[in-house]
Amino acid sequence: MQFDFLIVGAGFTGLVLAERLSNELGAKCLVVERRGHLGGNAYDEYDDHGVLIHKYGPHYFRTDQPAIVDYLGRFTQWRPVNYQILSWTKSRYWRFPINLNTYEQLIGRSATEAEFQAHLARVRVPIAAPANSEEVIVSQVGWELYELFFKGYTQKQWNRSAAELDASVCGRIPIRTNRDDGYLREKFQALPAAGYTRMFERLLAACANTMVLFNADYREVRRHVTFRKLIYSGAIDEFYDYRAGVLPYRSLRFEAEHFTAAQLVDRAPVAGRPGFWQPALQVNYPNEFDYTRIVETKHITGQTCDGTTIMREYPLAYVPGGEAYYPVPQAAAQRQYQAYREMSAADPDTYFAGRLATYRYYNMDQVVAAALDLAGQIKLDWQGGQRRRSA
Ligand code: FAD
Ligand code: UDP
């Protein structure tokens, strides 16, 4: 069979490109997906107990780009969400990310914002341009709060100290002196109202001339089809057979546990409602236990089921062929990636896009924005090619 584009991966990147290229260029696309479903890591599903869970870790959609909301809004309604997170250490829950409430817990009495600011002015380490994740936190809140909430979590998550990671990693977490304890900074925070998978199904349904092959690796499929261009959203080092070495990634193991209503009777109601296992959507465990966080998606999906399911997230060493969940934001890894970047720049028939193919710690909105940009670039290349062919 003959296709214009062979697209590797049915995540945000692959599906957005299939939609744009099939509809805008009338191109015939084949999407090849190794897993048995759409959506890549953003896939959600109803588990055996009927609870909607995020199978590959919590996916909190947020963006400051209205164009991305508008684009995805063609395929979903939105459910506004306030992502609320706590941290658990020293046998108690802490308000998190760090804010005035956290400070009051630390000192054991009420305080004003001015007092908290004065405290931070005393304890923060003066660093004009924080160069790594340890510096970005201690320069804002000093050693005590860093050690309470960031040092252990970061070591557990990345198997590296915060001092070895780019400032952008811990810099993702806001620190505020008021009582705002929203986990994210972006203006638009919402979930696809009927879930991510439903949104991906509608995105695929909107694609003209597009086929998806599940449970299929492109290395196998490419031997049986012909195509003009390849779009690749898998891991770039795997694409090049690890010719410049295995890039560092961090992997994860997810452990789900379901609780029936009867098993939840002793749990405190949340906003007056029974049926929850923990007091917030997500609880981070910076210092105790082998997992980094426990997520209970029922807090944000709006489901009214009696039982609930929680997901414990255990960081794991990555081995080639396993799941590469996180590229490691670190200068040495970026240098190694540059070798692959050069190989890809020299390949005119393959476009690399998405979190793993460009080796970037991208959020969903950033991935969609990059895919839309790439679609625009491909359109220009394509029209140039058509003109050359007809000249
Ligand atoms: P992916 O979703 O990884 O899709 C790539 C697809 O390609 C996969 O389905 C894979 O199976 C397939 N593939 C790879 N190689 C092959 C091959 N050889 N043949 C066939 N198929 C192949 N972002 C947010 O904005 N908010 C969040 O809260 C958030 N939380 C996250 C939590 C976790 C634990 C993780 C890992 C990521 C999180 N993200 C979050 C990031 C988000 O998952 C990504 O930005 C987005 O899903 C990337 O989309 P993608 O299409 O580039 O890649
Ligand atoms: N982090 C931390 N303590 C926390 C939460 C986050 O040290 O309680 C650090 C950690 O290094 C983590 C990074 O901040 O990897 C980014 O956190 P985020 O929750 O955004 O991670 P993601 O959802 O992308 O895994």
Q: pLDDT for 215-250, tens place per residue?
A: 999 999 999 999 999 999 999 999 999 999 999 999
The two beta strands, 308-317 and 249-259, are antiparallel
Would the CB of 149 count as within 6 Å of ligand 2? yes
Average pLDDT of the segment spanning 158-173: 98
H-helix segments, 235-312? 236-239, 298-301
From the alpha carbon of 133, which atom of ligand 2 is closest? 11
Per-residue tokens: 249 = 């990634």
> Can you give the pTM of this predicted structure?
0.97
- Please list, in sequence order, all residues whose beta carbon lies within 8 angstroms of the beta carbon of residue 93, skipping any fewer than 6 positions away: 86, 87, 279, 283
- Is 31 in a helix, a strand, or coil? strand
Res 386 pLDDT > 90: no
- Predicted confidence (pLDDT) at residue 174 exceeds the cutoff of 80: yes
The pLDDT of 268-288, averaged and rounded, is 95
287 near 152, Cβ under 8 Å? yes
Kindly indicate the confidence band of residue 195, based on its pLDDT and cuts at 50, 70 and 90: very high
Q: Left, alpha or beta for 36 (phi > 0: left; psi -120 to 50: alpha)?
A: alpha
Domain with CATH 3.40.50.720 in the chain: 2-43+194-247+327-390
Residue 103: per-residue pLDDT: 98
Average pLDDT estimate for 152-173: 98
* Bridge partner list, 51: none
pLDDT value, residue 149:
98
Which residues are CB-contacts of 296 (< 8 A; sequence separation ≥ 6)? 276, 277, 278, 280, 281, 282, 308, 309, 310, 311
Mean pLDDT for 7-28 is 97
Q: Which of the four pLDDT bands, split at 50, 70 and 90, describes residue 314? A: very high
242 to each of 26, 195, 248, how far by Cα in Å?
Answer: 35, 36, 11
Gap between the Cα atoms of 371 and 387, Å rounded: 24
Q: What per-residue confidence (pLDDT) applies to 383?
A: 83
What integer pLDDT is reported at residue 389 of this predicted model? 72
Query: Residue 50 corresponds to which tokens in the numbers above?
Result: 């009927």
The mean per-residue pLDDT over the stretch 74-86 comes to: 96
Whether the pLDDT of residue 373 is over 90: the answer is yes
Instruction: Tell me what pLDDT residue 388 has.
Output: 74
Q: Which CATH architecture has domain 2-43+194-247+327-390?
A: 3-Layer(aba) Sandwich (3.40)
Residue 276 and residue 272: Cα distance in Å, rounded?
11
Ligand 1 center from residue 325 Cα (angstroms): 7
Does residue 391 register a pLDDT over 80? no
Decide: 60 in ligand 1 pocket, CB within 6 A. yes
Could you say which ligand is closest to the alpha carbon of residue 153?
Answer: 2
Looking at ligand 1, which atom is closest to the CA of residue 60?
28
3-state secondary structure of 243: coil
Please report the atom of ligand 1 found closest to the CA of residue 14. 51
